[in-house]
Amino acid sequence: MKYYITLSALILVLFSCHKKDSKIDGPSLEDLNGQFSVLSPLAASIDSVDFASGETVYFTALFSKTSEWNLKITGLVSGAVKTMTGTSNELNASSSLWSGETTNLPIFKNENCKVELTFPNETDTLITYVKVLQAKVNSGFLISDFENGFNSGWTSFIQSGANMNFQVLSDASSPQGNKYYNMAGTVNWDWLIGYVYFKSTAYGGAPAFPLSANPNSVYFNVMIYGESGTTNSIVLFQFEEDENSDGIFTAASEDMYAKEIKVDWAGWKLVSIKYSDLEYLVNGVPATPNGNGTHDSNKIKTINMLHLANPNSGFAKSKLDYIIFTENGPLVP
Amino acid sequence: MKALLFIILFSIGLSAFSQEGKKVQFVGGARSLISQSDFTSDVSDTVTAPKTTGGYALIDLGFKINPNENTEVLGMIRIKNQFGGFYGAGVTFDVRQIHVKGVAGKVLRYQIGNIDYKLTPYTFYNHNPDLLVQSLGINKIKEEVLNYESFYKNNNWRQQGAAADFAIQFPKLIQELKFNGFITRLNPSASNVLERLYGGGNVIMKQSKYLTIGVNHVRVFDLLQTADNDNAYRNVVNSISYDLNKDGEKIKLSLDGESGMSKSFSTQNAEGGLSDFFIHVKGQVSFKKCGLKLKMAYMENGADFRSFGAQSKRMDFNQVNSFYDRYTNSQILRPLSYYDLYNDPSLYSSSISTKIMSFNPSINNVLPYGIATFNRKGFYAGFNYSDPKKIIAADVTFYRLGEIRGQGTTQLRSFSYLTSTVSFNLSNWMHWKKKQVFQLGLAYQETNRSSQFTFEQIILKSLTASLGLELEICPDLYLLGSAFLFSSKGNESMPVRTPEGNIINFNEYLVDGREINLSSGIKFNFSKEVYVAAVYESNKNNFSAENPYKYNQILLYYIMKF
């Protein structure tokens, strides 16, 4: 019996008891329910920031209680907007770090930015400013941002319809830089309004675009503008693969993956597609590709961009800018 | 025609199989339910169809094959036909269960496929923390249906995986060492979601008939390199369980319990993980002659104790009803009621969740994750009585618990919880041959947190009371009755958690409502495993003061097991 008593006592004392915990789980209720006041004003960690060289900026502020907050950074020239939200009693490097990226297009330029901190449940608005010395540089293979006009190595075709306007334009509405490619017109006999073929040979005579062979890590990104009031534009991208590296794309025996984008929004929008997600399309319907059936992202010879619209739908318009391949993730502009 | 040919060929195959001396058995069950409901709310509602008719017929057909005396193969399919579905419409075919089990080398017992498994209440255990009172009468039928649907039996979790056990016996010092192990899959890998497995086992040493000690281990773990993600999650629980007893002529004494610790972390943030321990000790005295058993226990579950195999709930309270899910002209969502817990088996799941699941504080605020609930400390005591003539049986337990760590404040909640079930067997009392049973159940909970600040104060009281009766009025024909009352009043401060379980905010929970359900019916037993029951019930719910509702329902069950 002594043996059992000793053993049970041992088991009981094996673990020491919890003492009253001085920590609390979650935010303090006193903080959540107390009076709101700003204990430390909104401030930027640096006055000016060079995103191109890898610098970042963060914002600080301290409040008397845990609150929901919205931080909005607006480019005073570009109109670009970066937003951040959170619920805390302070802003710090972990909650408000900015690396120059944008939430709503356009992309930030080298410009002064206004930073506003608001609270959904309070009337206070805190403001500070930060200057972007050099805007963020995106890594990847740039097909075109149209800043240097129309590349002579590309080929294009424009139907002879009404009000045709296929050209590089320059105005303040550009989401990146100052220029973009405008596509507009009425073609009432054909779906095709116009096209541009971006050939790899236009980039130093390369037989294929210099991309990774892993189609799961290659992303195709493009900024597309939808004209308010029209939703009939279709932008079709086709990716021709020169699988046998003979310098020619053979449609009957090589793969051509495609993405059809119905431009049914107003304003600029970033569209990003993982290359391995592309399909072979026949009249817009997925079908079995004609080649080896694998996504050979390192063998893309030509990218065909076709602007289409239903011939009965009338005038169609959209714009393109900043066509870029990125690796390991979609473009974060 | 093809189906007929298939059945004929299959039957020939089976008979040939049987003729070789190998056994094939058909196992399974069948159930049919027809319901007619009439729903009304006190506010204007011209959108919700007040009357609905529904139901289904289903058959679970299983083939249990024993190719040899040491091996069993079970495959079970479910054919379900929604009421009103004909010629393929509304008919579904599913695989309900499949497993292979047997004994290898007359030593190792194994099972692969669907496994029903549990270890200890703190490691891997299917607690039932929401149906607080025992059922009898009509609610018992409903509870049996939902338990059957989700494979809830003996607190096991139904999982897919493999299990094995074997034992070694010794001539001296130790009688037996028993080894148990299992592995199951919690989720498959996706693009950046790692394959998540759950496994573990225990070693149980039976030293003598007086002493048994177990060493238990379970872990949730992600398999690296199964997806584009290097941050693997781990939840590890280790415990020691024990059972000491001294069985005398008049009195039996026992001391049992479990103590251990858990650790939860991600491989890329091991320092930011959680670890904590728990203790549970229970002493019992049984007075054999008078049928009285007294118990007293101490439990202490740390605030950061996480054991998802024991803390997963059967029901996720964030989900939406499937029975009258919306009502009123605004088509507001009808929150889960206590009645839905009995009425809708589709609300239950057999998944182990690695998130802290939501719960209804009105139903169970004291132990929402069963006895393994984290952040609880205190005593409980009770008694169990069954008179020698088996006329009356009672089971009463009272918990007095508190938090270890405050939520949003250093003030701690305190909890009181009384649960009791009393059964009267009138037929034994009156010496009638026909079965006459009457049962009362009660669960009362109270949560308090006092503070100088009003926003920290909590007072929440809940009562669940049930009554059930089964009266055999002529051989195999029973008159059934059930009633329950569920009421709750007060306030709580419900934590809002991130997917990782961290509290980021609190939502104020205010409640003042009552739900009453009355039902009666008749049941005829064709045999022990086959019966038909017709039920009429009325339910009234005013938990939403602005939108109270009530409904009546007629149900016809036909249930068969074979």
Is residue A278 domain-shared with residue A320, that is, in the same domain? yes
* pLDDT tens digits, A57-74: 999 999 888 888 999 999
Q: Which pair of structure tokens corresponds to residue B82?
A: 């929604």
Q: Name the strands in the sheet holding A256-262, side by side, starting at the edge strand that comes first in the sequence.
A: A155-158, A192-199, A300-308, A234-241, A256-262
In the predicted structure, residue A162 carries a pLDDT above the cut 50: yes
Q: Is B492:B507 a contact under the CB 8 Å cutoff? A: no
Least confident of A95-109, A118-132, B320-334: B320-334
Is residue A52 domain-shared with residue A172, that is, in the same domain? no
Domain-located, residue A20:
no
| Per-residue confidence (pLDDT) for residue A66, from 0 to 100 | 80
Is residue A48 domain-shared with residue A64, that is, in the same domain? yes
Q: Residue A218 is part of which domain span?
A: 141-327
Residues A189-223 as b or e (16 or more Cβ within 10 Å = b): eebbbbbbbbbbebbeeeebbebeeebebbbbbbb
Q: Cβ B495–A21 below 8 Å, yes or no? A: no
The domain spanning residue A285 has which CATH number? Answer: 2.60.120.260
Is residue A68 domain-shared with residue A202, that is, in the same domain? no
Q: Cβ A4–B210 below 8 Å, yes or no? A: yes
Is residue A44 domain-shared with residue A167, that is, in the same domain? no
In the predicted structure, residue A27 carries a pLDDT above the cut 80: yes
| Per-residue confidence (pLDDT) for residue B18, from 0 to 100 | 43
The whole-angstrom separation of Cα B278 and Cα B299 is 7
The last residue of one of the domains, among A114, A134, A154, is A134
Identity of the amino acid at B257:
G
Q: Is B151:B137 a contact under the CB 8 Å cutoff? A: no
Is residue A259 domain-shared with residue A202, that is, in the same domain? yes
Task: Kindly list the residues from chain A whose CB atom is less than 8 angstroms away from the CB atom of residue B404.
Answer: 18, 20-21
* Mean pLDDT of all residues belonging to chain A: 89
Q: Using the 8-state DSSP alphabet, how is residue B321 labeled?
A: P
Of B242, B377, B410, the CB nearest to A18: B377
Q: Is B482:B493 a contact under the CB 8 Å cutoff? A: no
Low-confidence ranges of chain B (pLDDT < 50): 1-21
Structure-token match 């607006």, residue found: A74
Q: Cβ B300–A23 below 8 Å, yes or no? A: no
Structurally, how many domains does chain A consist of? 2
The whole-angstrom separation of Cα B360 and Cα B363 is 6
Domain-located, residue A217:
yes
The last residue of one of the domains, among A82, A107, A134, is A134
Of A1, A8, A28, the CB nearest to B255: A8
* pLDDT tens digits, B4-24: 333 433 444 444 444 444 589
Closest residue on chain B to A11 (Cα): B259
3-class secondary structure per residue, chain A:
CHHHHHHHHHHHHCCCCCCCCCCEECCCHHHHHCCCCEEEEEEECCCEEEHHHCCCECEEEEEEEEEEEEEEEEECCCCCEEEEEEEEEEECHHHHCECCCCCECCCCCCCEEEEEEECCCCCCEEEEEEEEEECCCCCCEEEECCCCCCCCCCEEEECCCEEEEEEEEECCCCCCCCEEEEEEEECCCCCEEEEEEEEHHHCCCCCCCCCCCCCCCEEEEEEEEECCCCCCCEEEEEEEECCCCCCCCCCCCCCEEEEEEECCCCEEEEEEEEHHHCEEEECCEEECCCCCCCCCHHHEEEEEEEEECCCCCCCEEEEEEEEEEEECCCCCC
Domain-located, residue A77:
yes
The shortest C-alpha distance from B503 to chain A (Å) reads 4
| Per-residue confidence (pLDDT) for residue A224, from 0 to 100 | 95
Domain-located, residue A18:
no
The domain spanning residue A121 has which CATH number? Answer: 2.60.40.2550
Is residue A307 domain-shared with residue A208, that is, in the same domain? yes
Q: CB of A18 within 8 Å of any CB in chain B?
A: yes
Domain-located, residue A16:
no
Q: Cβ A29–B455 below 8 Å, yes or no? A: yes
Is residue A129 domain-shared with residue A217, that is, in the same domain? no
Domain-located, residue A262:
yes
Is residue A129 domain-shared with residue A151, that is, in the same domain? no
Is residue A130 domain-shared with residue A145, that is, in the same domain? no
Is residue A176 domain-shared with residue A273, that is, in the same domain? yes
Of A17, A24, A33, the CB nearest to B410: A24
Walk me through the domains of chain B, giving residue ranges and CATH numbers: 24-561 (2.40.170)
Least confident of A92-101, A175-184, B36-45: B36-45
* pLDDT tens digits, A241-270: 999 989 899 989 999 999 999 999 999 999
Inter-chain CB pairs, A–B, below 8 Å: 88
Is residue A263 domain-shared with residue A241, that is, in the same domain? yes
Task: Kindly list the residues from chain A whose CB atom is less than 8 angstroms away from the CB atom of residue B412.
Answer: 20
The shortest C-alpha distance from B235 to chain A (Å) reads 20
* pLDDT tens digits, B378-406: 999 999 999 988 899 999 999 999 999 99
| Per-residue confidence (pLDDT) for residue A8, from 0 to 100 | 55
The last residue of one of the domains, among A84, A116, A134, is A134
* pLDDT tens digits, A183-231: 999 999 999 999 999 999 998 888 999 999 999 999 999 999 999 888 8
Three-state secondary structure call for residue B144: helix
